[in-house]
Amino acid sequence: MQMQYRRLGHAGIKVSVLSFGSWVTFKNQVDVQRAIECLDAAKQAGVNFFDNAEAYAGGESERIMGQAIRELGWKRHEFLVSSKYFWGLHDGPNTSNTLNRKYLLEAIEDSLDRFDLDYLDLVYCHRPDPETPIEETVRAMSDAIERGWALYWGTSEWSADEIRAAWDVADRHGWHKPVVEQPQYNLFHRRRVEKEYARLYDDIGLGTTIWSPLASGLLTGKYLDGVPEGSRGALEGFGWLAEQLTNEQQNAIVRQLKEVADELECSLAQLALAWCAKNPHVSTVITGASRVEQVHENMRALEVLPKLTDDVLDRIDEITQA
Amino acid sequence: MQMQYRRLGHAGIKVSVLSFGSWVTFKNQVDVQRAIECLDAAKQAGVNFFDNAEAYAGGESERIMGQAIRELGWKRHEFLVSSKYFWGLHDGPNTSNTLNRKYLLEAIEDSLDRFDLDYLDLVYCHRPDPETPIEETVRAMSDAIERGWALYWGTSEWSADEIRAAWDVADRHGWHKPVVEQPQYNLFHRRRVEKEYARLYDDIGLGTTIWSPLASGLLTGKYLDGVPEGSRGALEGFGWLAEQLTNEQQNAIVRQLKEVADELECSLAQLALAWCAKNPHVSTVITGASRVEQVHENMRALEVLPKLTDDVLDRIDEITQA
Amino acid sequence: MQMQYRRLGHAGIKVSVLSFGSWVTFKNQVDVQRAIECLDAAKQAGVNFFDNAEAYAGGESERIMGQAIRELGWKRHEFLVSSKYFWGLHDGPNTSNTLNRKYLLEAIEDSLDRFDLDYLDLVYCHRPDPETPIEETVRAMSDAIERGWALYWGTSEWSADEIRAAWDVADRHGWHKPVVEQPQYNLFHRRRVEKEYARLYDDIGLGTTIWSPLASGLLTGKYLDGVPEGSRGALEGFGWLAEQLTNEQQNAIVRQLKEVADELECSLAQLALAWCAKNPHVSTVITGASRVEQVHENMRALEVLPKLTDDVLDRIDEITQA
Amino acid sequence: MQMQYRRLGHAGIKVSVLSFGSWVTFKNQVDVQRAIECLDAAKQAGVNFFDNAEAYAGGESERIMGQAIRELGWKRHEFLVSSKYFWGLHDGPNTSNTLNRKYLLEAIEDSLDRFDLDYLDLVYCHRPDPETPIEETVRAMSDAIERGWALYWGTSEWSADEIRAAWDVADRHGWHKPVVEQPQYNLFHRRRVEKEYARLYDDIGLGTTIWSPLASGLLTGKYLDGVPEGSRGALEGFGWLAEQLTNEQQNAIVRQLKEVADELECSLAQLALAWCAKNPHVSTVITGASRVEQVHENMRALEVLPKLTDDVLDRIDEITQA
């Protein structure tokens, strides 16, 4: 199955419709070698966007991805790499849960060190910060681009109103505008991408790199009979996840979706990924994997895309009561 | 004959009315030594603008010109050198047939490496890209100038509407505006420069560095009796050119123009070059040569310029049915 | 109890914290004489803002309010009157469910005829229209003000993103900006006013004239034992309301709120109105009445305001599980 | 067949996909009574846009349309009426072939007199004027709207570059922007609408009200055997038309298109109208008629629209060598 590429909203850059993110999988569960194998497998499958964040594994996720890029000998024009900023790696009034200028510029520069790259392709504000004026944040992100530390910037989990405010202040002043939002999006979490952002796709050309396409694993079906050992829901400090993942009302829906997947001759996860990718306002679906086989399984979601006819989509809507 | 210099539109920089380009001539037909001789001859004739592009000979054209500049010991203030970007040297969704930010900035930086120069004088968008917002392209070109990688930027083969859109978004945001367009222009190809761009010369001060003044060689007259061996039309992969060059209707016109040239005691090519240069909206006519004698012949077009009286021009218009 | 007046957001105009609206009450339930009595009573109680809309009773609501103003001899400086536009009084592609320029300007002019006034104080876009650019709507509203047909304009039930987009395009072009939003707000419907608009109060100085403070009557408690005859829920064509009003889960909450009201020695409706008015981002609470006694009862909600201590508010939050 | 309505580009106003224009048909060929019958028939078929121009029949076309509107008792919200300005009704340096401020404002006011209307819905600059700055023209058109003389304005037969320049200067200054262009468009005249304006549909939301869908009658097929008596091509002063209409190369194409029409069981004219309407960038196709039966025949083009499958369109492209 050939990878497909989509423009990141109205931006001129194109991202593979399935991309690869390294959330908690790096360091916590995977040793460096397996990380490198997964990145290699993803790139060979046509993935060109690799998502990361300062906060993932306390900076280790960036460090490992940088090491992989060097070891695998990737050329700079062959890949897009991102990072995101908000929580910070250091406690303190100005260095965590913030989007102030000092934090952002220091944090991005530190990221470059960890990656050992001259610049990132995308940098994100990982959450909105009500205690920093949007103008200050926008200016800092734009300045990071001016300094050559990144090529594009965006937001993650911002409201439509906040995104528009950011875009507008940038447009007025001739600063670099946000081009992308990274929202949660999956069969259980649709309102924001489908409703709240509706006007932004045309008005400001917003692209989306969506996360949690499998609803933290709920849409793999592996939590249908409780939390299996070794799964993310069983990790220490992820008790909140375990609770969500075993919600009976949602798992009843998951069972019905499993039937659809069976009919389409694909796994539930593949169905869930393909369903996200079917939305034309989704630029790329960020997938995760801790083993090479998982990468391959995820990529086969591309084969499911053409099977998602209007009839199938209607049926899925009914099951999920959308 | 003294070289003449013209402002590049309303820009303050001046270009020799005849300039020198290195399209397919470098690497393919000319060895490095002859390239250096041609560049030297052109410069001694007063040429100060040397046109190039990333795509010419897969990057070799830039490399050779850079080598020539060093060997000839040109001072940085003595010459203007350009390059152009669009097709790219690497296949892939973000690296060919595009004007996205990532491609442009990476490509310009790579050009500097090949030239071994700190900056270029002019950088062009070689073609329009309908899949990148004009604003993104304009910002990237402006940022390349901000970073010190180039002094001016422009477009090539863009529509009037696209050029104005680019100028406008730059003007609104205080970015570096495009100052020049590189269009095809010759006795057989006049509409764009004379009609379509008409409002732009005053409105935004557009300069033009025109290419193909000899209509790919048609206006040398050497294709009047078929494609001669060793000519560009005989090169492998240039079959499309051969067909155009032997078009009978056009060659009938060429024969009549030859008579005019004879009366003016110049070659047909000199007449054709001078005719382009006569248009005050043409800043410079880009000429090509693979031998030093050709450089000298081209330069003597300057002597034809004063012979192009209104009567002669009217007669040429009649012949070409303009 | 003295009426209080609040600025309409950052605008310089002040509205009584309790105001009077004429939704379905005019024409349908109330004869003209009673309408005039209610308006008189409200004004004597200090109300200075009288809300209306083109769509209320098919234009009759505006006509009757205009007649009342004349009969009661109100001076133009003593009152603020509004109308709202979206649904239209004529079917057709350009005259209903729209905010296009033609509709808005023709509709506002027709309103002035029905009111027999030279201008209105506030005009609202009654709903958002996804098929008209926000810029076109903003320009038409601004032009209505330029023509002297209104003094201020605003929106009703627009998303935060839409309001900001409207404000922004007006601000950029120097047009009259929207100063007010008329959202639904009551103890059961809080998210928009409290969360979604949160950034707008400071950013653009948004005022709010809130409607349905009693949740269509649910918060009067009169639907605790079914839909009483003569109530709005019993009106023909309002079956959907009856269903909402007898929702058991909500009425369980209403019962608990009734206890709070009893302790504060006020009616449930008074508690609900005062609770809305307690929110400093609410400029005015639009009340309705079809009898003079109801006006008086509503106005006594002002006496409840000082009783809404932090403790009481917390308890109400607990009851409503906010 | 139900009339369809389309937004005029991004504007909020909707026009019937087939509309009615009164070019040379009023006064010259049709007496007032027949004009009124045609307008009535068109409106009853769902047409809501009625095109006119100052120059049509020296002002009489506007006068007759105004009379018809009064006699037929149309309400102002039921119809859209346009006029266009450039050639003028008075010879002189400032009153003909111009778009200067004095001419435009005087001409539009005179139009209102002839129509006996308070305002027109759309006013157009009938041609570009290279001797008036676009800024002066744009300001005058915007001011006509400010004065309440029109609701929207546009251009006719302007280049993409000129339209963008007009839009841009309006946008910068907060003036009313052009929303529509009236270009020639038909099976023999496609470049401008399909190529030249391509970027404008998204960039500035340009709508189009296209004229000459039948190529001056060529696409009715009635000129296949010369110019029939009583046809427009036989009118005095229309010799240039007769020549065009009997062009053999074009009529050869017309004959082939006639075969397609026969297979689709419609007239050639209906095919030609439907083909124009099939283009989503065409807001409305302006049709003409001098008899009520012609109106009815034109309107039946709506029935052909669904028959224009991709296969049929491809075949038409082949026939017309597009």
Mean pLDDT, rounded, for B238-257: 86
The candidate with the shortest Cα–Cα distance to A123, out of A100, A151, A147, is A151
Identity of the residue in C159, C162, C199 whose CB atom sits nearest the CB atom of A162: C199
In chain A, residues with a C-beta closer than 8 Å to the C-beta of C165 are: 164, 199, 203
Task: List the single residue in D with minimal CA-CA distance to B195.
Answer: D159
Nearest Cα of chain A lies from the Cα of C260 at a distance, in angstroms, of 34
Look at residue C180 and tell me whether its pLDDT is greater than 70.
Answer: yes
The candidate with the shortest Cα–Cα distance to D154, out of D132, D175, D126, D130, is D126
B41 in a domain, yes or no? Answer: yes
Stretch 72-91 of chain A: residues touching chain B, C-beta under 8 Å: 75-78, 80
Residue A319, classified by CB atoms within 10 Å of its CB into exposed (0-12), middle (13-18) or buried (19+), is middle
Determine the pLDDT at residue C240.
81
**Cβ separation B99–A12 shorter than 8 A:** yes
DSSP 8-state secondary structure symbol assigned to residue B199: H
In chain B, residues with a C-beta closer than 8 Å to the C-beta of A151 are: 101-102, 105
Q: Do chains B and C touch (3 or more CB pairs under 8 A)?
A: no
Mean pLDDT, rounded, for C67-75: 95
Determine the structural domain holding residue A86 and report its residue range. Answer: 5-220+273-301
Confidence of residue A239 (pLDDT cuts 50, 70, 90): confident
Identity of the residue in C90, C101, C129 whose CB atom sits nearest the CB atom of D151: C101
**Does the CB of A199 have a partner CB in chain C at under 8 Å?**
yes
Distance CA B38, CA B292 (A): 5
Identity of the residue in D12, D76, D77 whose CB atom sits nearest the CB atom of C101: D12
Determine the pLDDT at residue C148.
95
The candidate with the shortest Cα–Cα distance to C145, out of B92, A147, D146, B4, is D146
Look at residue B235 and tell me whether its pLDDT is greater than 80.
Answer: no
Number of independent structural domains in chain C: 1
The candidate with the shortest Cα–Cα distance to C178, out of C212, C144, C132, is C144
Q: Which residue in the list A56, A85, A185, A223 is annotated as catalytic?
A: A56
Identity of the residue in D5, D13, D75 whose CB atom sits nearest the CB atom of C101: D13
Q: Which chains are adjacent to chain D, needing at least 3 Cβ pairs under 8 Å?
A: B, C
Determine the pLDDT at residue C48.
97
A179, A205 contact by CB (below 8 A): yes
Distance CA D125, CA D153 (A): 8
Determine the pLDDT at residue D112.
98
| Residues in Cβ contact with D297 at an 8 Å cutoff, skipping those fewer than 6 apart | D267, D269, D270
In chain D, residues with a C-beta closer than 8 Å to the C-beta of C136 are: 11-12
D234 in a domain, yes or no? Answer: no
Q: What is the ipTM of this complex?
A: 0.91
Instruction: Look up the CATH number of the domain holding residue C300.
Output: 3.20.20.100
The candidate with the shortest Cα–Cα distance to B186, out of B177, B198, B178, B194, is B194
Stretch 132-161 of chain C: residues touching chain A, C-beta under 8 Å: 159-161
Question: Which amino acid, residue D235?
Answer: L
Question: Which helix (H) or strand (E) segment is A151 a member of?
Answer: strand A150-155
Mean pLDDT, rounded, for C137-160: 97
Determine the pLDDT at residue B224.
84
Nearest Cα of chain B lies from the Cα of A169 at a distance, in angstroms, of 12
**Beta-bridge partner residues of B19:** B286
Model-wide pTM > 0.95 = no
Nearest Cα of chain A lies from the Cα of B133 at a distance, in angstroms, of 6
Determine the pLDDT at residue C25.
58
Identity of the residue in A75, A78, A148 whose CB atom sits nearest the CB atom of B147: A148
Determine the pLDDT at residue D184.
98
Catalytic residues of D: 56
Distance CA D294, CA D300 (A): 10
In chain B, residues with a C-beta closer than 8 Å to the C-beta of D192 are: none
Confidence of residue C181 (pLDDT cuts 50, 70, 90): very high
Catalytic residues of B: 56
D14-68 tens-digit pLDDT: 999 999 998 655 656 667 888 899 999 999 999 999 999 999 989 999 999 999 9
Mean pLDDT, rounded, for B202-210: 97
In chain A, residues with a C-beta closer than 8 Å to the C-beta of C200 are: 161
Confidence of residue B222 (pLDDT cuts 50, 70, 90): confident
Nearest Cα of chain D lies from the Cα of B160 at a distance, in angstroms, of 6
| Residues in Cβ contact with A73 at an 8 Å cutoff, skipping those fewer than 6 apart | none
Q: Do chains A and C touch (3 or more CB pairs under 8 A)?
A: yes
Q: Which chains are adjacent to chain C, needing at least 3 Cβ pairs under 8 Å?
A: A, D
Nearest Cα of chain B lies from the Cα of A193 at a distance, in angstroms, of 23
Mean pLDDT, rounded, for B130-139: 97
Q: How far is CA A56 from the centre of its chain?
A: 12
In chain B, residues with a C-beta closer than 8 Å to the C-beta of D130 are: 198-199
The full length of chain A comes to: 322
Determine the pLDDT at residue B22.
84
In chain C, residues with a C-beta closer than 8 Å to the C-beta of D174 are: 172-175
Identity of the residue in B130, B172, B199 whose CB atom sits nearest the CB atom of D161: B199
Helix residue spans in chain C (DSSP H): 32-44, 60-72, 101-115, 134-146, 160-173, 191, 198-203, 239-245, 248-263, 268-278, 292-299, 301-304, 310-320
D254 in a domain, yes or no? Answer: no
Stretch 166-195 of chain B: residues touching chain A, C-beta under 8 Å: 172-175
DSSP 8-state secondary structure symbol assigned to residue A13: -
In chain B, residues with a C-beta closer than 8 Å to the C-beta of D203 are: 165
A82 in a domain, yes or no? Answer: yes
D12, C136 contact by CB (below 8 A): yes
Nearest Cα of chain D lies from the Cα of C158 at a distance, in angstroms, of 17
Determine the pLDDT at residue C28.
59
In chain A, residues with a C-beta closer than 8 Å to the C-beta of C163 are: 161
Residue A108, classified by CB atoms within 10 Å of its CB into exposed (0-12), middle (13-18) or buried (19+), is buried
Q: Which residue has the higher pLDDT, D70 or B224?
A: D70
C240-285 tens-digit pLDDT: 878 878 888 888 999 999 999 999 999 999 999 999 999 999 999 9
In chain D, residues with a C-beta closer than 8 Å to the C-beta of B177 are: none
A233 in a domain, yes or no? Answer: no
A109 in a domain, yes or no? Answer: yes
Q: How many CA atoms lie within 13 A of C103 on its CB side?
A: 28
**Cβ separation D11–C103 shorter than 8 A:** no
**Cβ separation A196–C161 shorter than 8 A:** yes
Distance CA D162, CA D185 (A): 18
Look at residue A238 and tell me whether its pLDDT is greater than 80.
Answer: no
Mean pLDDT, rounded, for C128-149: 97
D253 in a domain, yes or no? Answer: no
For chain D, 322 residues long, the average pLDDT of each consecutive 10-residue run is 95 98 66 89 97 94 94 97 97 93 96 98 97 96 97 98 98 96 97 97 97 94 82 76 83 95 97 98 96 96 97 97 78
DSSP 8-state secondary structure symbol assigned to residue B105: H
Identity of the residue in D162, D172, D200 whose CB atom sits nearest the CB atom of B199: D162
Task: List the single residue in A with minimal CA-CA distance to C169.
Answer: A168
Distance CA C284, CA C297 (A): 17
**Cβ separation B173–A174 shorter than 8 A:** yes
Question: Which amino acid, residue D151?
Answer: L
- Best to test chain C binding among A161, A169, A195 (most C CBs inside 10 Å): A161
CA dihedral A114, A119, A121, A122 (to 10 degrees): 60
Confidence of residue B177 (pLDDT cuts 50, 70, 90): very high
Q: Which residue in the list C56, C152, C185, C223 is annotated as catalytic?
A: C56
- Best to test chain B binding among D161, D172, D192, D201 (most B CBs inside 10 Å): D161
Q: Do chains C and D touch (3 or more CB pairs under 8 A)?
A: yes
Identity of the residue in C100, C143, C172 whose CB atom sits nearest the CB atom of D13: C100
**Does the CB of D11 have a partner CB in chain C at under 8 Å?**
yes
Averaged pLDDT score across all residues of chain C: 94
C3-49 tens-digit pLDDT: 999 999 999 999 999 999 986 556 555 678 888 999 999 999 999 99
B11 in a domain, yes or no? Answer: yes
Stretch 200-219 of chain C: residues touching chain A, C-beta under 8 Å: 200, 203
Q: Which chains are adjacent to chain B, needing at least 3 Cβ pairs under 8 Å?
A: A, D
